[in-house]
Chain A
Amino acid sequence: MSRTEPEQIAPAKTSWHSRSVGSRLQHGIFYLLIHLGGRRAAYFLLYFVIAYYALLRPDLRRKGEPYLRRRFPEASSGALFRHGCRLLLDFGKVLVDRAVVGILGPERMAVRLHGREDLLGLLAEGKGLILIGAHVGCWQAAMSALGFLSTPVSLLMQREDGDIDRHYFEHAGRECPYRIIDPRGFLGGSLEMLDVLKRGEVLSVMGDRLLGSDKNAVTVDFLGDPVRLPFSAYKLAATTGAPIAVLFSAKTGPASYELELAKVIRVPAVVGRSGAAFAPYVAEFAAALEKFTREHPCQFFNFFDMWQYDRTK
């Protein structure tokens, strides 16, 4: 049988991975410092580590360049170098903050939420709620601020072999406070995701990286050039009537974050299997993410070339 396919575009040559940088020992040293001296001690070491990566590991520093060149198109090579260092440093701080929350407790990090009443209103519609985030700020610290929803939260999350980074709850030996849906499971976890929404609960996904087949992506503009972003969550929203809340977290101070409801996206029932029907809604997410990068340019942590894919196929 044949199926109407959207424009055939091959997967990106440079795909992302979530595997950690640094060895288990290196991560362990940071965790020990946090135990002994708190966040400040870990930040102190972090500056030296970042200096090492910035000066002696240009391959890692340059992973942020596809984004930085588009975010700062007029930047000189010197300015790009500084932005790259800043990006690495801010990312390092976020990883430390995540560990601080896990090791010393969530009370060590102040999280201010903008949009609390709106989120409660969306949930009260009774069709479940889809939270779409991105690799910005510290989503784990931010998720700890969502307890007021008083509703189970399920995360679509793929963990790779060799991933050393611990999630914050793992530091304290606690059970995961969320239900994890593995996209490598039966039918990509889609039945489980549907179940979550049918029960009126919360499903959290990331909207800025593709998990699995490129067939589940559409092309939208981001920072002036086309990228492929996943549309599965929008399809789920269209099928179930669940509203989508775009949530971004941003580090606002040494021990503080803000979590903002950036946009609410409503996807009507869409006829057809083509992902192109969802492009306008994915574009709304991309626009919200672009606005975030204007406000917090060094807190967007996709260290791969989102814009690289084979357009000739």
Chain B
Amino acid sequence: MDIKEQLKKILVEELNLEDLTPEEITDDMALFGEGLGLDSLDAVELVVLVQKHFGVEIKDMEEGRPALQTVATLAAFIEKKRQG
């Protein structure tokens, strides 16, 4: 399973997004606000989940802001961090 698919599964299952399946989440769907509709409290949980599942830390807002736009941007961030 690639990173994007893993992220979609995590979003649905661990953020309890009811009535949504991973397949319904597109790569360029906005995570916050319009799109997936996550909010600021979900952001906290998402940062912790990314660290837990991928071993990647979103250190601060400078990293967080561009990374947390869409599934695609978050996946790209994770991949880049893993490559070190």
Chain A residues packing against B (C-beta within 8 Å): 1-4, 186-195, 212-213, 215-216, 232, 235-236, 239-240, 271-273
Contact = CB atoms under 8 A, between A and B. Distances in A.
A237 to B, nearest CB: 10
Contact of B37 (A1, A194, A195, A271): A1
B45 interface: yes
B31 to A, nearest CB: 10
B23 interface: no
Contacts of B17: 1, 3
Contacts of B47: 191, 194
16 contacts: A1-B24, A1-B37, A2-B19, A3-B37, A4-B16, A186-B65, A191-B44, A191-B60, A194-B47, A215-B39, A216-B39, A216-B40, A216-B41, A232-B41, A239-B48, A273-B42
A232 B40 contact: yes
B9 to A, nearest CB: 15
Contact of B58 (A191, A216, A232): A191
Nearest to B60: A195
B2 interface: no
Contacts of B58: 191
A222 to B, nearest CB: 22
B16 A272 contact: yes
Nearest to B36: A1
A4 B18 contact: yes
B19 A235 contact: no
A142 B41 CA distance: 28
A282 to B, nearest CB: 14
Contacts of A189: 40
B33 to A, nearest CB: 10
B32 interface: yes
Contacts of B43: 187, 190-191
A2 B19 CA distance: 6
Interface string B1-35: 00000000000000111111000100000001000
Contacts of A213: 39
Interface in B57-84: 58-61, 64-65, 68
A6 to B, nearest CB: 12
A187 B40 contact: yes
Given A1-B24, A232-B41, A187 B36 contact: no
Contacts of B37: 1, 3
Nearest to B62: A191
Contacts of A240: 48
A288 B7 CA distance: 40
B44 A235 contact: yes
